[in-house]
A and B are shown apart, each in its own frame.
Chain A
Amino acid sequence: MNEELRQRIESMMKSSKVFLFMKGTPNEPQCGFSKRTVDTLRELKIKFDSFDVFSDEEIRQGIKEYANWPTIPQLYINGEFIGGCDIVEQLVRTGDLQRLAVQ
C-alpha cells in the first residue's frame, strides 16, 4: 500500500476515539450491516465519527488491506481495529464495547 494512502487511513481512524468506516452515512446508511452498527453505537450513546467508503474507492479497498479484514463496516476504537458488525454486537452483549469506548 502506498504511504500516502496508509497515512490517510491512519489519520482518519485516529481522528476520533470511535471511528467507523461504513457504507453510506449514519443518517443514510447504504447497507444493513453498516446500519446495525450505527444503531448499536447510537443506542449506547457512543459518540463516533464515520467515513462513507462509497465516496472513495481507494479508501474502500485500502482499509480492507490495512485491517486485514474483508468487509465493511469496520469499527476502530482508540486507533485499534475492533471488528465488523457481528463482533460489535457480541461485544455489546458482553459489555466489552461500552468498556472500550470509555477507556
Chain B
Amino acid sequence: MLSLEDIKIKIENGLPGANAVILDPRHDGKHLKAIVTYKGFQGKSLLEQHRMVNKTLEEAFKDSLHALAIETKVE
C-alpha cells in the first residue's frame, strides 16, 4: 500500500518544482486528497491539470490507489 509520502514524492518528481500536500480525510489510506501547487499549471485547463497529476501516479492507480481528490493551484 502506498504511503502519503510515496504519493507526494511521485507527484513532485513528475512535476519538478511542484508542491504536493497529500491528505487522508477518511483515515482509510484509500480515499486520498492531493493539493498540488505547480507553476506549470498556468494556462492549462482544469482537465489538463488533473491529467498531469494523474500521469505522475499512473502506476499507483493500477496498483492500490483507489480514489484521489485533486485540487490544483498555480501559485
Contact = CB atoms under 8 A, between A and B. Distances in A.
A20 B58 CA distance: 23
B68 A87 contact: no
A66 interface: no
A91 interface: yes
| Contact-size category for A | 10 to 19
Contact of B71 (A70, A82, A86): A86
| Contact-size category for B | 10 to 19
B70 interface: yes
A70 B70 CA distance: 13
Interface of B: 31, 46-47, 50-51, 54, 57-58, 61-62, 67-71
19 contacts: A32-B31, A33-B67, A69-B51, A69-B54, A70-B58, A70-B61, A70-B62, A71-B67, A71-B68, A81-B47, A83-B46, A83-B50, A84-B50, A86-B50, A86-B69, A87-B47, A87-B50, A90-B46, A91-B46
